[in-house]
Amino acid sequence: MQNSYFHNNRTSFVKENKRRLSQTHNLEKKKTVDINTLLNRVKIDERNKRKQQVIFFSSVILALGFFATFITLIQ
């Protein structure tokens, strides 16, 4: 089958009966998963999330405090 591309006057020949080779996937051995490790990771992630929230809220309150102090000093 001949395809022509009119924008640059090139032609190419394409085989329609081209077959794809079946791809083989490398199957590794099943890994064992320790549920305690997963649970500990979840607990640590939750603890880190709480720490980030506390730091964020305390910085917001501190910024509001500084702003309020600045406003009262200006007046």
Say whether pLDDT at 17 is over 60: no
Instruction: Tell me, yes or no, if the pTM score tops 0.85.
Output: no
- Give the 3-state secondary structure of residue 1: coil
**Residue 39 dihedral angles phi and psi, to the nearest 5°:** -65, -40
pLDDT on residue 62: 98
pLDDT in tens, 21-60: 555 566 667 778 899 999 999 999 999 999 999 999 999 9
58-72 average pLDDT score: 96
CA 65 to chain centre: 36
